[in-house]
Each structure stands twice: as C-alpha cells, then as structure tokens.
Amino acid sequence: CRNLEAVAMEPAWRQQGRGRGRSSQEGQSERSRPPQKERDRPGAPAGVWGPGGRTKPTAPPDPPPGEDGVILTYYRVFLIQSKFEEIRKSNQAAAQRLVESQLSSSSDEEDDDDLDDGEIDHKGGKTGKILASTFTTYTNQTGGDAAGLARTGQYVSDLFQSGALTCLICIASVKRTQPVWSCSSCFSLFHLPCIQKWARDSVFLVSSVTDEDFGQKQHPWPCPKCRAEYPPSATPNRYMCYCGKLQDPPADPWLAPHSCGSVCQKELKPSCGHTCLLLCHPGPCPPCPKMVSVSCMCSKAKPLPRRCSNKAWSCQQQCGKLLPCKQHSCTRPCHTECSPCPRVSVQKCVCGREKAERPCASPQWNCQQVCGSLLSCGNHTCEVVCHDGVCPPCPRSVSRTCPCGKTKSSLPCTEEVSPCGDTCDRPLSCGEHTCSMRCHRGSCETCRQEVEKECRCGKYRKRMPCHKEYLCDSKCPKTRSCQRHQCRRKCCPGNCPPCDQSCGRTLGCRNHKCPSGCHQGSCYPCPESVEVRCTCGSTVLVIPCGRERTTKPPRCKESCREPHRCHPGPCPPCRQTCLLALPGCSHTCPQPCHDLVLVKSQQVAGPWEQPTEPAFVKKALPCPPCQVPIPTTCFGEHEVSPVPCHRQGRFSCGRPCGRPLTCGNHDCSRECHLVTNGNKACEVCEESCSKPRPAGCPHSCPLPCHPGDCPRCSQMIRQRCHCKISMLYVECTKLTSADEQTKVELGSCNNQCPKEVRTVDMQTFTLKCCLQGQ
C-alpha cells in the first residue's frame, strides 16, 4: 500500500516517463508488464488489458486475489493509463483552442493565405473560390451575368475584409467564430450577447417611462441601425445561420463566415413564388434569375420568355382603354394601370347651375351657391351649399325644446319656442355647478362661485373663483425621465413632461454627439459612416464611424507606381537616377531621385518654451552642383587641369605669374591671375633701373625701371684740367661718349695752356708743362 501511494503521489511526467531511458527503467517496465498468460486470463481487468490492447479505464478495478506484487502491478498500470488519458484530453483541448483562435483571426490573416509571391488575387485565391461557390447556382442560370449580385456580393465580400464588419453596439470587430444576429431589414451583423442586452434594455426603458402598470405591456425593441421594430418574442436567443436552418453553424474555413453552406431557399421579394438559389449568405437575396413566359402589360402581345425579376415588359402598342371620365380613351403605350385623364372638358357642378372647364380627372365640383330651394314645410328655403339629390327636411319642423331643455313643444316651424321660465340648471364649464339664471337662450355665463381650491401639485389651498385654476409658484424638484435634469415646472402635478433638452453626450465613435433628446440609458450608436481609403484613394472601405482609427486601409490592386502596387504606409525611396537637366550646363543629375527626402524640421523655441522634438518632413531637395570634370587652362596658361562643371572657368594654379612686366626687364611675381581684354593686370615694377651705364659713367639711371635705353646722363663731372690748375665741369655724357682727342680737349683749360702744348699727346703735354714750371 505504501508503494501504491508513492506511485500515486508522483507527478504525471514521472509516471508517464517510466519505462523509457535507462536500462534499469526498461527492466522495471518489463517487470510491471503482466505476462501473456495474465493478460489473457479471464480474471484480468478489462479496463486495462482487453482483446484489442489498452482501452480507456472507466473506474478502478477491484484488486484480484493473489500476491501483493500482482495487485501493485495492476494498479500501477491503471494509474499510468489514466494519466495518459488526462494528458491526451488536455492536448486535444489545446489543439482545438488553437484551431478556433486561427479561425477567429481577422480577415487580414485570412487574406494572407491568398498571397502568392507578394501578389493578392481575390478572384483566384481562397476568398475568390468561396465567393464563386456561393454564387455558382445563380450565375449558371444567368449565363454568368452577375449584375444582380452587386449588393449581395458586397455583403459577402465584407465578411472577408478587415474592419468591414463591426458590431455597432460594442464597436468591435465581428469574428467568424463569434455568435451573431443579422437584422432582417438592414442586414447588419451584431454580436448575439450585444443584441440580447440591447433588446432587454430597450424594452425596459420604454416600459418604465410609458407604463402605469410596469412590465404589463409588450413593447417592441428597435434595430440599433435602421430602427426597424421587433416584438419582444423576436429577441434572439440562439445563434443561427443566415438562412435559419442550422443552429450554431461551425466555423468552416471554406464557407462564408456564419453560413451553413446549404442553399438559402428564402422566398424572394417581391414575392414571385421562387426561392433564393445562393448558398446561405448575408445581405439581401438577389433578384430572381429564373426564366418565365409572360405577356405584355396590356396583354395584347404573345407571351415571351423573360427573367422573373424583370418580367414586366411593354409591347409599345397604344393602350386604348376607356378612362374613368367615360369620354376619352388612353393614348399611352402599353402599361399596367391607366393614369387619370389629362384632358379638360366642360362639366356641370353638382347642382347643375353652372358649367366650367374642368380636368376630366376630377369631374365632381361645387359651385359654392346656396341651394335656395323651398323645403317641404313650404315656409323656409334650403340653406345647404350646392348639393345633389333631395333637400333635407326643415330643421324647425321636428319636436323642439325650450333653451334649458326641460319642456318640449310641437309648434309650427314658423313659431319660436319661448323660454319656460324655470331655472336653467345647465352644467357650467367648471363641471361642478349649474346655471342659476332662468331659462335663456345662448350660452351660460362663467361660474363665479368661490370655492377652496387645491393647487395642481397639492401643496397649497386657497379660496378663489371656481372658473379660475389655482397654480402655486413652487417648482417641481423631481428628476425627469432622463434621470439627469430636474423638472422645474411650476406647480407640477407629478406627471413631469419628457426632458426637452438635447442629450449632447459623446457617442461611442468619439467623433459626434448624440442628437436625440435627453434620455436615460446608453445612446444609440453613431449612424454616420466614414470612408477608409487606400493610399492612392481608388479603393474605398465604408465602415461605421469610430472604427477608422483601428481599421487598416483596404487592399488595393491599383499601381502605386510603376514597380509596385498600392500599399499602406510610405513608399520606399525611389532608386532611379534623377536625370534632370542641371542648370547652367548640358549635363543631367547623376544622383538618386531626391524629390521626397526626409528632412529634419525643428521649430525654434522661445526662452521660456520647451524645445520640441525634431519632426521629419518630406521635401524636394535641389540637385547637387554638377561634378563633371571639364579640362580647363589656368589663368597664366601654365597647366590644363580637370575642373568640376559647376565651377567651370579658368583658375589659378598657385604658381608665380611669370609674365613680363611693362618695364620689360622683370617678370610678374604675383600668384597666377587673370588677364582679360589685353589689360595686363600684373603688378607695377617698383625697382630702380639696373641697366648698365656707358663706360666711364659712374652715375646710376635716375628713372625707375623702364623699357628701352636709359636717358643720357646729364650730371656734371668736376675734374682738373691737364695742367692741374683749373677745375673744369664737364657733362658726363659728353665725357663718356667722346673719343680720345675730344677727351683731351675737354680736359684742357683752353686759355692758360700754350697752344703748342695742346697739340701733343697727354703724356708729353704733362711732362712739358711740369718741366716749364707751369
């Protein structure tokens, strides 16, 4: 027994793992398995070992008599088998929940099954096959013409479209595994629990406001969308398919959601004797596609085969039927019912005194003249306006009473009945007192008796004339039927009127406010619809207001751009080359397309404002400068180098200019620069003239550096004459450009030296002069 309890206390994974793995466990498994003769023995437990092997145990078997080891073996086998069955059931339940969760997934997941290499084919995918199978019987009889299925097809297509089916009560998506109810008027789908609560709340609110005997009357409840009224007995309590044949239809992935898959067989409207041929479907049944043989509307032509839904046809022959005026016949082409006669004819009035042109459609008319015929009494005339037949009898010839009605008299119609003289006693307008005057003609006067009256709300009493109503000034503190506002009506008797204010509460869509009068309970769902468009705007999905925030855009088959289809979200960046003509040159932009580029845009915050996060805005950026290399010579024509096209033009290479200056002696030392129109913009030479002077001239050129020869030196050279006696001043140019004879002449004093001495050479002259002491 201790071993049995120990086995029972072990966890399931250890009990299930027994007999697997190591050799010791295998030996233990072999020992726990009963021998063949024990399994085949009649006394063996049938719930564990049977003819076909193991079976599901139903209850613990009685331990067979025998040794303790056999008892322990049987119970071990039973416990292991029972744990196995529990785990198997839990796995099956988990698998079933997984299948239901997959079936109840949104239609986006269902559409993903139809994806093939990134393409969506609703016509050839699973959705297209379900739609085709639903409409097969109808399209076979119409030769493939599906024009009559436009409305029904839209309802069925919405079943597979994300966000198209929304319960207007809870504003949540309707999934294919949830119990639903469909309105027979507007064909809207609602969750079954939602519509049941809606029906109960609607009946309760109406009965609590209008019934004196609460809950005694059977008030209808309205559809949340179209306001079609249903009796309380029509409150749905079961989940049925669209055609109402199957309760709790299973979620079949190859059928339309909430459909039983059988033929609808509902009677078509307008009633023609035929039934719907589609498979169980949402929305209205399409027009009848059957062919019938019918005659034209006037029944003159032979019958022709026509569609039952469009069997009325006209043979275009003239009708010819006699119109109600009995004067003209119908001239319209073949039709069902003749319209009133459109012509005008001369007709007599009812009394026959006057004639006038009147429409034939209204021949009876009165001339507004008093009859005036003598009545049967012979004393009075008929006062009835134009009439036909015999005049009525004289109203004064019947038995008449006095004004108060107490005495009767039969007098001739020419005599008036005089008052009887008794008290009038006719009830006054107050309803409590009678007239105290004598019998009189005409109406009685107003009641003037004073009575103690209670005000309408019953709080105060006061004596006042009976004909007046007593209203106090107290205001009613009760809450009106809306349970939100006070009555505040003066002297209210308790029957507070309905609230006259507008509800104004925000509806579930969060976009609109309730336009109804102030009411109790929840507001009706928002009746508005909004459109959710795809990115390109060509595909539209109409959904209830409030679902646009959670509904994905519809799938669109149109092309977003050439390479791909319309898709939600931003388009991928364009990978094509810009190739726009660049300004100022003949080249095109080689960069990738930059028409829509995300650019950081951040507003400048003030000194007391918090800086905002940068926002990215798509902008068109200008093309970058042209970078095509263009061979270009530098300013000084020293070299030819490639230059980007946007900087096209000559450039400075950075070397010294090297052009000869205007002086013709030196070169320009500036950095390579531009010279235009023959205007040499090189620097001006500021050095002094360095040209060599004539032989013998010790002076430099007084001019700055200049082209050509230097001017003649005009400076005076002081020198002594040959005799060393006088100081002579000779112009430098004359001295340096003279020959030897001229130089001797220029170096003599002319007057002091002897003539004979001047004619000899310089050396001899000098020697002679010295010897002579001169």
Nearest to 404 by CA among 393, 417, 414: 417
pLDDT grade, residue 742 (50/70/90)? confident
Q: What does the pLDDT read at residue 201?
A: 86
pLDDT band for position 69 (cuts 50, 70, 90): low
Q: What is the DSSP string of 308-337?
A: GGG-------B--PBPTTSS-B--SBS-SS
Q: Tell me the C-alpha distance between 379 and 416, whole Å.
A: 14
- Which alpha helices (H) appear in 161-218, and where do they start and end? 192-210
Residue type at 576? Q
**pLDDT in the model for residue 196:** 92
How many CB atoms are located within 10 Å of the residue 447 CB? 21
pLDDT in tens, 152-211: 888 888 777 766 788 888 888 888 888 999 998 888 889 999 999 999 888 887 776 654
Strand partners, 131: none
Q: Which two tokens stand for residue 49?
A: 């070992």
Are the C-beta atoms of 554 and 532 separated by less than 8 Å? yes
Instruction: Please indicate whether residue 16 or residue 682 has the higher confidence score (pLDDT).
Output: 682
What pLDDT does 162 receive? 61
574, two tokens: 């364009």
C-alpha span between 123 and 145 (Å, rounded): 16
Domains belonging to the chain, first-starting first, are 149-206+218-289 (3.30.40.10), 628-686 (no CATH), 716-744 (no CATH)
Predicted confidence (pLDDT) per residue in 72-101, tens digit: 666 677 788 888 888 888 888 888 777 666
352-407: pLDDT as tens digits:
888 888 888 787 888 888 888 888 787 888 888 888 888 888 877 777 788 888 88
Tell me which H or E stretch contains 451: strand 450-454
From 35-44, 170-179, 217-226, 311-320, the region with the lowest mean pLDDT: 35-44
Q: Are 418 and 434 a contacting pair, CB within 8 Å?
A: no
Measured CA to CA, the distance from residue 582 to residue 573 in angstroms comes to 22
- Is-contact 342 305, C-beta < 8 A? no
Cα–Cα distances in Å, from 441 out to 368, 418, 437?
31, 9, 11
Query: Phi/psi at 160 (nearest 5 deg)?
Result: -100, 5
Query: Contact 130/137 with Cβ under 8 angstroms?
Result: no
Give the per-residue pLDDT at 374.
83
| Residue 263: CA count within 13 A, CB half-sphere | 9
Average pLDDT over residues 526-534: 86
Among 107-121, 491-505, 742-756, the range of highest mean pLDDT: 491-505
pLDDT band at residue 61 under the 50/70/90 scheme: very low
Rounded Cα distance, 721 and 262, in Å: 154
By residue count, the chain amounts to 774
The rounded distance, in Å, linking the Cα atoms of 535 and 1 is: 75
Burial 310-332 (b: 16+ CB within 10 A, else e): ebeeebeeebeeebebeeeebee
Tell how strand 180-182 and strand 529-533 pair up: unpaired
Rounded to whole angstroms, the Cα distance separating 173 from 552 reads: 12
What the block records as the tokens of 650 is 């000559």
- Highest mean pLDDT range out of 44-53, 110-119, 659-668? 659-668
The Cα angle at residue 601 between residues 600 and 605, in degrees rounded to 5:
130
**Two tokens at 189?**
């789908």
Report cis status (omega within 30 of 0) of the bond before 270: yes
Strands, DSSP E only, in 51-193? 115-116, 119-120, 166-167, 172-173, 180-182, 189-191
Helix (H) or strand (E) holding 543: strand 540-544
**Distance, CA of 391 to CA of 378 (rounded, Å):** 12
One-letter identity of residue 485: H
**Separation between Cα atoms, residue 62 and residue 693, nearest integer Å:** 150
